[in-house]
Amino acid sequence: MSTVEIAPPLLEYPAPTRIGPDHNGMLMTPEEFDAIEDADDDCRYELVRGVLIVSPPADFGELKPNDVLGHWLQSFQEGNPQGNSLDDTCNEVTLKTRTGRRRADRGVWCGLGRDPDYRNDIPAIAIEFVAERARDWRRDHIEKRGEYAEIGVQEYWVIDRFRRIMTVYRGASEERVVKESESYTTDLLPGFELNLKRLLEIADRSAKN
C-alpha cells in the first residue's frame, strides 16, 4: 500500500524591523511596513500592492531644488500677508494609500488652520521631482496620480527638469502643463508664485555636481 508523504509546515518568519537594499521585492503588509523601526538611510522605500520597493537615493538634481522649494514656501509662510494659508511643508513624506505606502518628495499642508499631524493628515499638495530613469515615468504620472487623488491629495505637482515642464494634476481628471517660461499659482496657496524657470536652473546646476 502506498503511503502519502505530508510536507512539513512552512516556517513563518517575522517581518524585519530594519530594512535595506536586500529587502527589495519582499512581500509585506501595510501594518508591517508601518512597524519598521530602522532603515538604511541611503535608500527610499515604498510599499506597492504588497511588495516592498527599495529605490536608490535622489541625486542632487532632485535634492537641491526640493530644498529650495521648501525654503520658498517657508519664506512665503513667514513673510507674506497671506502666508497663513500654508500650515507646513516637509520633504520625504510617506503617504498612506488604499493599498500601500508611497513616498512623495515633498508634502504641503494647507487649509487646516493648525499644525498638521504628519502621520495622518493628507497633504493638500504632493510634489515629485522626476528622476532620469524612464521606468519612473509611469509611476510618477499614472500610478501615483490615481493613488493620490483617491486619498484626497488636491494637487499633485510633477516637476520634470528633463522635459522642462511641471505637470499639475488636480484629482483624477484635471491636468495642466506649466512651461519653463511660466510661473504657477494656485488657490490653495493664495499669494504664492512658483518661478519654474528659476527652480529648473537650480536643478541643472546641482545635477552637474
- pTM of model > 0.95: no
Arithmetic mean of pLDDT over the chain: 89
> What's the pLDDT at 202?
95
> What's the pLDDT at 56?
84
Give the angle 144-175-130 at the CA atoms, nearest 5°. 45
Sign of the alpha-carbon dihedral angle for 54, 103, 63, 198: positive
> What's the pLDDT at 13?
59
Domains of the chain: 18-55 (no CATH), 60-207 (3.90.1570.10)
Residue of 91, 73, 31, 23 lying closest to 195 (CA atoms): 73
Task: Determine whether 155 is exposed, middle or buried from the number of CB atoms within 10 Å of its CB (0-12, 13-18, 19+).
Answer: buried
Using one digit for the tens of pLDDT, what is the confidence trace for 94-118?
A: 999 988 999 999 999 999 999 999 9
Strands (E), 76-209: 86-96, 101-110, 125-129, 155-160, 165-170, 174-179, 183-184, 194-195
The cell numbers describing 141, all together, are: 504620472
Instruction: Determine the Cα–Cα distance for residues 125 and 150; give it in Å rounded to an integer.
Output: 13
> What's the pLDDT at 61?
86
> What's the pLDDT at 58?
82
In tens digits, the chain (209 residues) has pLDDT values of 555 566 555 445 577 888 898 999 999 999 999 999 888 888 889 999 899 999 888 888 889 999 999 999 999 999 999 999 999 999 999 999 988 999 999 999 999 999 999 989 999 999 999 877 656 777 788 889 999 999 999 999 999 999 999 999 998 789 999 999 999 999 999 999 999 999 999 999 988 76
